[in-house]
Amino acid sequence: MTGTLSQTAAPETTIAVALDGVTRTYRSRAGDVHALRGVTHAFPRGSFTAVMGPSGSGKSTLLQVAAGLDRPTRGEVTVAGVALTGLGQTELTRVRRDSMGFVFQAYNLLDALTAYDNVALPARLAGRRVHRDAVIGALDQVGLDGLAKRRPPELSGGQQQRVAVARALHSRPDVLFADEPTGALDRGSGRQVLELLRRLTDDHGQTVVMVTHDPLAASFAHHVLFLADGQVVGRLHQADASRIAAAMNELER
């Protein structure tokens, strides 16, 4: 661990991800676009939060900035006690690799590799030793330990997405970021993935931050954070899909 990281690390924190006054302005020839305007929010450890809001409200930008894939114009992002601002690219890459997992709408699995090898691949690419128990453990967590030798084309869409979740969990991340993880799935498969994300938080203390357009998907989360025009405009706790849909309708009016 580098000096910067050890100075800023606070492992006892109950906050997995904190955004403090985060602004992100895109500068373009047509003028400035204020994608995030002073967002302050703490994602507690072991919580499942859905981020919702109308198209263009800043959801993807929030996820990118929280995950250190993009830097805020102003404000601070802290992940697992580490302040990301001021970290160099190498340190940032290391924090991302060690503390964060990512799941996207597209599973991004390699068809030529088995489920096992897809889960192990990021660690292998990073030159790290792969422990069989850890890979099987990650597949077990997503309910696929019996299918470790299958290749993606031999799995359903929902099973493929669960392999992608296992791959993200293999590094034991502090936080799992998911961007529309059920966007490409039918309702039943999507439900399995959402139940899995909820179980990971309830039973294993995993923190999950998920961007979604779908009120039903968001209803699996503990908390829903609503964005509009780059700002946090509402929060719901343990809400059902109809309540979330009503809140979205209000925002889209």
Ligand X SMILES: Nc1ncnc2c1ncn2[C@@H]1O[C@H](COP(=O)(O)OP(=O)(O)OP(=O)(O)O)[C@@H](O)[C@H]1O
Residues forming contacts to ligand X in the complex (CB under 6 A) are 26, 28, 33, 35, 53, 55-61
- Write down the least CB distance from residue 149 to ligand X, Å: 36
- Write down the least CB distance from residue 28 to ligand X, Å: 5
Q: What are the structure tokens assigned to 186, written together? A: 């039918």
Listed in order, strand segments (DSSP E) in the chain are 15-28, 31-44, 48-52, 74-79, 82-83, 100-104, 175-179, 207-211, 223-228, 231-237
Q: Which is nearer to ligand X, 58 or 173 (CB)?
A: 58
Q: Which is nearer to ligand X, 67 or 200 (CB)?
A: 67
Q: Which is nearer to ligand X, 35 or 169 (CB)?
A: 35
Q: Which of 208, 206, 230 is nearest to 221 (CA)?
A: 208
Q: Which is nearer to ligand X, 53 or 101 (CB)?
A: 53
- Write down the least CB distance from residue 212 to ligand X, Å: 10
- Write down the least CB distance from residue 43 to ligand X, Å: 17
Phi, psi of 121 (to 5 degrees): -55, -50
- Write down the least CB distance from residue 1 to ligand X, Å: 32
Give 98's contacts (C-beta < 8 A, 6+ positions apart). Answer: 171, 173
Looking at residue 110, the DSSP 8-state letter turns out to be: -
Q: Which is nearer to ligand X, 105 or 114 (CB)?
A: 105
Q: Which is nearer to ligand X, 14 or 28 (CB)?
A: 28
Cα–Cα distances in Å, from 135 out to 129, 142, 169, 216, 250? 11, 11, 9, 31, 44
Cβ 215 vs Cβ 182: under 8 Å: no
- Write down the least CB distance from residue 140 to ligand X, Å: 33
The CA dihedral of 71, 77, 80, 82, to the nearest 10 degrees, is: 80
